[in-house]
Structure 1
Amino acid sequence: MPSRRVVTGRSQEPRRRFAEELRLLRGARGESLRQVGERLGWDPSTFGKMESGESLGSPEIVEALDQHYGTPGLLLTLWELALADPSQFREQYRRYMVLEAEAVSLWHYAVSAPPGLLQTSGYAREALAAGGLRDAELNQQVEARMGRRKLLEGKEAPQFRAILSEAVLRTQLHDRQEWREQLEHLADVSERPNITVHVLPFSAGPHGLMNSAMMFLRLPDARTVAYSENDVRGELVEENRSVEQLQRAYDAVRDLALSPVESRKFITRMLEEVPCEPSI
């Protein structure tokens, strides 16, 4: 019977716990990173980054490691916990992240960038890098943001409504191909049964949410909370009267936005303005 791991505070740090388990399992086998890479067919540096906590790797790699070490499902479970860990996000977002994972429905108004739940990895990487993130922290935040997208997948996925200011679709990435993939992703997800996308055109004029991105979460206890965010700070709003006031502003903006069908056509027209990369 294998020796039991000592229970420590690290169990509250899923990413660190995952990396530690990888190191312990490899150490118990007496293998080098190079040997693991040769046996599984991946670059040894990939496993080194996973063991240092710099990267979580992909589910395919983690499943291969589970099979290699004879730990069916253990590493994949730790990987999923690390991916969903709200502590990967900066402090101001952590409470919101916990509530977001519990929500039964979500509404979002985006001022200048696609909602994180609808971003591609290419968009997330360029946007986060523009905010000053680099190297390991950048990789970690991109992985965490991509992990959040799983919230909208599967049969039990919550309903999600996003209103995108036209500015979201006009503020392009420097990498034109990555920008095209982001627009294609928005068009694709708008056809999912649990996702509704509206575009708010510039012609709608001034409105009550011009300067703040807004998120609303409907929780299992029927409570609704809001999260307001601008370039300087984010604020979680839980007081009923304040939430209701913000919801009225959101509803007014939705009334100004294009219908889901017209919004998809709008995104498709935007795609036509972005040239395809020439095939090699």
Structure 2
Amino acid sequence: MGGPKKNSSSPAAQYFAEVLRMLRTKAGLSQNELGERMNYTGAAVSAVETCAKPATDEFIEAAEKALDAGGLVAAAAKYLRLERYPAHFQGFVQLEQEALSVSSYCVQLIHGLLQAESYARALYDHAVPPLEPEEIEQHIAARMDRKALFDRKPVAMISVVVEEAGLRRLIGGECVMRRQYEHLVECAARPNVALQVMPMSRAGHACLAGPLTVIETPEEVTLVYLEGQGNSHLVSKPDEVGVLARRYAMIRTQALNPEESVSLIKQLAGEL
């Protein structure tokens, strides 16, 4: 039951499997015995240890508790969870989750941190090429995991400017969008969230060149993340960062204020 790992498995999956195997062996448990403690079969434990199947969040939590691992299983799973994100996005997620502040301008879609699960799920109906159901579930779980930033201590400050045109795009239909509007209002009520809408009535503004995200790291270094069509670029040169940060500061003055923005979102919900 302890066969070799599959060659196609990722380094993170192999690392998690090795940590799990070492902790189980140290505890003097067979795969069947650990499975019984976790309410899983021995075959399920073997599948994770041989990288035949990925460890789910439920499996990770059960293994941490059953092995009394002192956080070691959860720590190893941190790298495993990163693989749920597209490769070009993994580095940014780490920055985002540790950031002092995240300030984003969105064009076509609602920011991932502010997406309701039903909205996030509906986006994958239009994926090209189509994804397998298991891949979709992994991506959705990963997107929902990012919301931990809202309640993290110390609290992170989150500012989002979204185009009204993006809000009006009925992703998933009226029911999905009604829930999404409700979710945006709930997010906007948080004291660490500033949500603003760039109205379609404004003919031009400072960020017509495209979306961007300004990140302030725990070391108080400012970076800018640019993304589009499955590619991304992290800007770190101070002069370039300065220009982009000033553009974001400008569009905040050009967008509706937070109170006006929430009123517009409620109006859109009422139109459905």
CA contact (8 A) 1:54 1:139 kept: no
Q: 1:241 to 1:139 in 2, by over 3 A?
A: same
Q: 1:20 to 1:265 in 2, by over 3 A?
A: farther
In structure 1, the residue matched to 2:96 is 100
Measured after TM superposition, the shift of residue 231 of structure 1 is 3.7
> Using the alignment, how far apart are the partners of 1:156 and 1:224 within structure 2?
18
Measured after TM superposition, the shift of residue 238 of structure 1 is 1.3
Matched, 1:31 2:44: no
Taking the TM superposition and a 5 Å limit, the aligned residue runs for 1:110-121 are 110-121=106-117
In structure 2, the residue matched to 1:245 is 243
Q: 1:221 to 1:74 in 2, by over 3 A?
A: closer
1:208 to 200, 203, 206: 206
Measured after TM superposition, the shift of residue 229 of structure 1 is 2.5
> Using the alignment, how far apart are the partners of 1:246 and 1:30 within structure 2?
53
Q: Normalization by structure 1: what TM-score?
A: 0.75
In structure 1, the residue matched to 2:260 is 262
Measured after TM superposition, the shift of residue 102 of structure 1 is 3.1
Deviations 1:29-67 (Å, cap 9, x if unpaired)? 45399x859x8499x99x979974446234xx6444444
Q: 1:244 to 1:54 in 2, by over 3 A?
A: same
Q: 1:180 to 1:212 in 2, by over 3 A?
A: same
Farther off after superposition, 160-169 or 22-31: 22-31
Measured after TM superposition, the shift of residue 160 of structure 1 is 0.8
Q: Helix, strand or coil: the match of 2:204?
A: coil
CA contact (8 A) 1:111 1:211 kept: no
| Residues paired across the two proteins, number | 256
2:87 to 88, 91, 114: 91
> Using the alignment, how far apart are the partners of 1:54 and 1:151 within structure 2?
24
In structure 1, the residue matched to 2:176 is 178
In structure 2, the residue matched to 1:57 is 57
> Using the alignment, how far apart are the partners of 2:53 and 2:79 within structure 1?
14
Q: 1:48 to 1:176 in 2, by over 3 A?
A: farther
Farther off after superposition, 246-255 or 133-142: 133-142
> Using the alignment, how far apart are the partners of 2:221 and 2:234 within structure 1?
14
Measured after TM superposition, the shift of residue 256 of structure 1 is 1.4
Unpaired segments ≥5 residues, structure 2: 1-9
In structure 2, the residue matched to 1:126 is 122
Farther off after superposition, 173-182 or 107-116: 173-182
Q: 1:178 to 1:32 in 2, by over 3 A?
A: farther
CA contact (8 A) 1:54 1:136 kept: no
Q: Normalization by structure 2: what TM-score?
A: 0.77
Unpaired segments ≥5 residues, structure 1: 1-11, 275-280
Q: 1:99 to 1:49 in 2, by over 3 A?
A: same
> Using the alignment, how far apart are the partners of 2:104 and 2:261 within structure 1?
15
Q: Helix, strand or coil: the match of 2:201?
A: helix
> Using the alignment, how far apart are the partners of 1:41 and 1:222 within structure 2?
45
> Using the alignment, how far apart are the partners of 1:79 and 1:175 within structure 2?
35
Q: Which amino acid aligns with 2:248?
A: Y
In structure 2, the residue matched to 1:109 is 105
1:145 to 131, 143, 146: 143
> Using the alignment, how far apart are the partners of 1:188 and 1:49 within structure 2?
38
Q: Helix, strand or coil: the match of 2:207?
A: coil
> Using the alignment, how far apart are the partners of 2:17 and 2:184 within structure 1?
34
Farther off after superposition, 211-220 or 157-166: 211-220
Q: 1:22 to 1:30 in 2, by over 3 A?
A: same
In structure 2, the residue matched to 1:5 is none
Deviations 1:138-191 (Å, cap 9, x if unpaired)? 222222222222122233121110001102211122254333222221110111
In structure 1, the residue matched to 2:191 is 193
Q: 1:75 to 1:91 in 2, by over 3 A?
A: closer
